[in-house]
Chains A and B, each alone.
Chain A
């Protein structure tokens, strides 16, 4: 009821002030008289007309609610924020190409995510914000093995820069993962090529039904590239390619080849 009264007052106030503003340009302080909530803003954002189109028409209308003000396009935001190093390539970013505007994530007046439910407390507001669009990724964080994003151990923006472009990445292709997982980056005297080239050859960083974020469970993950020699993995050790290879061997290749990301001393990646 109280909100309704405030709303009526705002509408009435707007109508009364409309004639008074007719002769003068619109300023932020005039807008604030009705839009008090939106007035809580960052420095340099106090001129409503610098971001919103049709402010003057809206303010002068007899019924301002009937004349919508335009919401800022990304280009308007970038006219000020493009010199920021994180946003200087937003024009070629994946988000921009997908039609995502700054306002879709950033609430300039109030945060997009205001409160968190009990289940998202640990995940935090940034994760909750990304999840509003990336439902397919959010679902993966509920799989058996996943990065602890919902649990508070990692965040989406810890790996992904939402303003960046894949076309403008610099450095090693594995750099995105090894900025946290330095222990596997080497340099290794004996490299495992798929690990050296791209972590996602074997791992799905968001989630997987297999341990260690493997996209495919062992041994199938490894057997795509590797053949098993009878004289080493076979039951009897004979030199043939038809003897039995038991589940004790097949169940987990990395149990023996423990230095799977690369080794300092062993060609066979055992140590």
Chain B
């Protein structure tokens, strides 16, 4: 950790405060006793196979390591774990914990507590190597920037790839989070009120691979490098300040929370003009067209919640208002007087539960959410329903109302609790579409996005305890929708979640689960000819999506000193939908909307991937001094991302998923004397990708540490 960071200064200040607090607590009859453990650690690692020294390794996405000399393929580094607790007769008055797994993965917390005050602080850092899963598109990872399968004269619009950031092969982002909190407890305020102030923040630094495509009239002609990739800088900061107030005047629980969250993107001005060779990409008027512009923004939220119990009836209610405002604007937005970006969300809920009837518990709830788009509209020249290609659809408002009733019974059969509920969701969208006369516009008949969703869900939750230690959960639900606003919403759905677990007196725990989720939607249609707003023939999309999962696990204590566990999970994701094409774009400029646009269902394609996960592990306390632990995880995903016509066009790299990850972790602790413990661990990870062998690679990591207690 960089000792000069503001966070570290803050943590130091917190430490001083905490020690003072602890000293104050020392005056208690029993005093404050500090204990803890400090564990310096030495790591040694080695990556093997993979894509080469100058490329991002697949496994670096989640485990980025770097040696003392800066070598990220093989090396050693030092780190330190800390765990210090100061305790008096009442509580832990001070806690300091740090866990380190290298310079790019570590975290720490600090807490101090008394009758009247509570302090918290935290810090964490995690580096993720990007460009691992998007490997195929990274500049210089593949000759020509694209897989040879697609490099030919017949690849259409995106033909060849242009690398706008030559030489950049490593992509990584550091996310550093930090925060402080102060709570004034009821003991200080003299009532049952708690006041808390929190600060949370993070920064993200690094770069990621990004791509874009240029526009233009020619499709297959001379300009073949429309598909462009580049190293996108990432430089973001977030600061959130939260004030919370809770109390229970007269047994009426009230909680208020107000927060101001400021997000700043310091890399927001990165645009096409930054590439000298791409000056032709400037938009009309010479304005710099931003690349994936991320605006700075401020979110202000205010929430208030209530809870009150009247005998056997409890009421919960809440209201929230949040306003998200855009703080920085792209040059092209400024030039066209787009000066306000604002989303306002109002939400509220009311929940009533009652056990007034001895045989049945009742619950009713209603929840309201309203999202208003208060941004500048129109912004002539940029965002304008009456202009060519300046609006697809604008979401003005999304208003949803969800309400339902549930009844809970407790039949003696199998010591059951059964809840039967009915829920309705009613969502209205106010949408603005382009003016038909504008040309270059999308009309609602040619979109699968609709303005209403109305669905009903019937669900049952059955929890049974047929024998001591055994719990059975069966939760089926059925959804039927009269209208759906999006294809991803179910017109009909059947969900089932089940779980059976048994804990024996010996400590053995065995459990299994079966989940099934199927949802269908053939409710939304496209219309081809919208002359005079009278659709003629239509084409209905038909999506059928099924997710299945099942698993078993066993935790078996062989003896008081040996514990073992294992699990096997299986997941299958299956989706089928039509592959739709049309003669021309839905908004073709210069072509009247009355012109027939012919949609065609070319094929019905299926995505189907299966995943198996096996875990085995255990720990063995050999004697008071020595213990071992170990675990192995094997995960394999396999299947096709499409079928039929689409699959026939994709190379196996894109059309097939076939990867497996082996993870082996072994650990040992040996107490050489009362306050000294040797620790060691070995981790081996190996990723094998049969669809794209270049991603295959692994690493070994060995850790040796000494835990010194006091």
Contact = CB atoms under 8 A, between A and B. Distances in A.
Contacts of A226: 580
Interface in B517-565: 526, 541, 543, 545, 549, 551, 553, 560
A220 B363 CA distance: 40
B48 interface: no
B581 A228 contact: yes
A173 B219 CA distance: 39
B241 interface: no
A84 to B, nearest CB: 7
Given A223-B577, A229-B584, A117 B101 contact: no
A32 interface: no
Contacts of B156: 233-235, 237, 245-246, 248-249
B150 A247 contact: yes
A189 B255 contact: no
Interface in A200-228: 201-202, 208-212, 215-220, 223-228
Interface residues of A, number: 111
B140 interface: no
- Summarize B's interface: helix, strand, loop or mixed: strand
Interface stretch (A15-23, A50-58, A59-67, A89-97): A89-97
A246 B156 CA distance: 7
A188 B324 CA distance: 11
B617 A194 contact: no
A182 B297 contact: yes
A35 B322 CA distance: 50
A135 B511 contact: yes
A143 B211 contact: no
A249 B663 contact: no
Contacts of A215: 573
B189 to A, nearest CB: 13
A25 B257 CA distance: 43
B676 interface: no
A180 to B, nearest CB: 8
B178 interface: no
B219 A237 contact: yes
Contacts of B375: 187, 189
Interface residues of B, number: 180
A122 B64 CA distance: 13
A99 B417 contact: yes
A136 B253 contact: no
A241 B582 contact: yes
B210 A187 contact: no
B644 to A, nearest CB: 11
A241 B371 CA distance: 37
Interface of A: 3, 42-43, 82-85, 88-89, 91-92, 97-99, 115, 117-122, 124, 135-136, 138-140, 142-145, 148, 151-153, 165, 167-173, 175, 180, 182-183, 185-191, 193-194, 196-197, 201-202, 208-212, 215-220, 223-237, 239-242, 244-252, 255-259, 263-265, 267-268, 270-271
The 6 closest A-B pairs by CB, nearest first: A170-B320, A118-B667, A211-B133, A43-B90, A256-B213, A139-B569
12 contacts: A83-B192, A88-B307, A89-B316, A117-B631, A121-B681, A186-B295, A216-B641, A217-B607, A232-B157, A235-B220, A241-B600, A246-B649
Given A187-B343, A220-B641, A244-B649, 17 more contacts: A83-B253, A91-B353, A118-B631, A118-B665, A135-B553, A144-B659, A145-B133, A171-B301, A173-B369, A201-B488, A209-B609, A223-B646, A225-B541, A227-B580, A245-B581, A263-B293, A265-B283
